Structure 1
């Protein structure tokens, strides 16, 4: 799975877990080995409130993470690899054309691009993010 796919899956998984009404009426009818991709496909058409999901995760996390402005902290919040190598791979995946050795510029681009991609994939991203 792509890095962005993992980000998307993780956020949408937490969103569906937080909303029991999105679960099937008879949980035993759902196959035990259902993939997160099929779970995301079965999710309701309503947009996922990205801010609410991530704020909830941050409240449960013992670290003080600046996930709204930092791609590193967002990845840490989701329990994903936040290393420079992982961020370079994410940048390549999302079509970054700048210098990946300029990690500060790349990181700013990444957080903005991830927000845009979340919105394009059914996420409700507040204008102030």
Structure 2
């Protein structure tokens, strides 16, 4: 399991689409018998798919359930008994989640999230990682305050 997947698993409920492969990017399957009815075509007219049928194959616009990331992390920190600054530190964020916060683990996370900077500059990488994790949490249905995404 990737480190980012572990982060999602710690913050989102297990049945949340961010934690399920079915809820990723694949459009939902069309149930049998639910295909749009074919348009009546007069005899002698070539049969072509109707433009009206196209929207029926679009994925549904059902909103993803929202998880209050700040509240979840605040509760986890209270339970940890440690004074951690997860709001700005990727190391402390990983510690709050009970995950490996070592430099090697952070380099792995940087690779997963496609960091293009120098991983030897751990300060710059850490700042980027924290912002990127918060942005990715928001993309996956997390309610993340704007000050945590900058």
Q: TM class, shorter-chain normalised?
A: 0.7 to 0.9
Runs of 5+ consecutive residues of structure 2 not aligned to the other structure: 21-62
Q: Is the 8 A contact 2:68 2:144 kept in 1?
A: yes
1:26 match = none
Runs of 4+ with deviation above 6 angstroms:
none
1:109 match = 128
**TM-score, normalised on structure 2?**
0.66
Matched, 1:128 2:142: no
Backbone CA RMSD of aligned residues: 1.7
Per-residue deviation, 1:61: 1.2
Question: How many residues are matched?
Answer: 105
1:40 match = 16
Matched, 1:49 2:25: no
1:98 match = 117
Per-residue deviation, 1:127: 1.1
1:11 match = 11
| Structure showing the higher helix proportion among its residues | 1
2:107 match = 88
1:66 match = 85
Q: Is the 8 A contact 2:119 2:125 kept in 1?
A: yes
Per-residue deviation, 1:125: 0.2
